Structure 1
Amino acid sequence: MTSPRIHVSAAVITDAEGRVLVVRKHGTSVFMQPGGKPEPGESAAEALARELQEEIGLRVEPADLEPLGSFESDAANEPGHRVVAETFRVAADPAAVSPQAEIAELRWITSDEVPTLSLAPLSLDFLLALAWD
């Protein structure tokens, strides 16, 4: 039996220093890329632009998001599920983001910090590597 799949849009957000933004939702211990599930009728880029504004206060136009591809991994907070993420890259000024809605914490990290954090499988296996390739 195949695991249920959760479809999301995710952002690899970098700053001018080459750091990558990760977020942690309330009630969880795992950091991941910001993003979320599309609403009916939304494209992946439209969903991500909406989610970034809701979660971290970042305003971006869907056309400004650089598509990176679709990636699949075990879901971090839904045991027995897989997450399929349409992923986009965008640059941001750290001063332009702050935790909002369900986001408890955000961090700008370097590749050296990856081993010290509890990270979602999708971030660890695919998305962070896209930022530093």
Structure 2
Amino acid sequence: MIDKIAWLHLVDGRVLCARSRGKSLFYLPGGKREPGETDTETLVREIREELAVEIAPASARPAGTFEAQADGHAQDVLVRTTAYTAEYTGTLTASSEIDEIAWLGHVDRDRVSTAGKIIFDHLRETGLLR
């Protein structure tokens, strides 16, 4: 099981996604925790590293946990994504490890990871993603 923390940032019915350098699929920004990190600490660090903005830790709120087949891994490897909403300060900027950031809607579902598809479907069902 791959355990990831992700930032779920929605604006006007679209969700912020990132595409790593050399990859073709988009995902929710975030990543794996380092030893001893809490979910919030992981969220703050990963978003700073990927998007050069500062998450306000006190504003982080759970938005759901989603499991799916891990892209690019054996069939028996799952990824668990725990998503959080949170406020931030700064200007969203793709870091050196990110090729592209984009605001995606449900119509872009085929451009995201397997876990992303599950999250996109959930957001569509709840009326948050157009």
Match of 2:115 among 101, 113, 122: 122
> RMSD across aligned C-alpha pairs, in angstroms?
2.2
Unaligned runs of 5+ in 2: none
SS of the residue 1:71 aligns to: strand
Q: How many residues align?
A: 125
Mapped partners of 2:30, 2:6: distance in 1? 4
Unaligned runs of 5+ in 1: none
Note if 1:42 corresponds to 2:64. Answer: no
Mapped partners of 2:56, 2:86: distance in 1? 10
SS of the residue 1:32 aligns to: coil
Q: Which residue of 1 aligns with 2:54?
A: 59
The 3 A distance-change label for structure 1 pair 128 and 65 is: farther
- Please list the CA deviations of residues 92-124 of structure 1 after superposition, one character each: whole Å capped at 9, or x if unmatched: 68x82111031111101233x324x42111111
Which aligned pairs between 1:1-133 and structure 2 lie closer than 5 A? 5-15=1-11, 17-80=12-75, 81-90=77-86, 96-111=91-106, 113-115=107-109, 117-127=110-120, 129-130=122-123, 132=128
- Please list the CA deviations of residues 58-108 of structure 1 after superposition, one character each: whole Å capped at 9, or x if unmatched: 211222111123211111243432111121123568x82111031111101
Contact 1:12 1:128 in 2 (8 A): no
The alpha-carbon deviation at position 49 of structure 1 amounts to 1.0
Output the amino acid matched with 2:85.
R
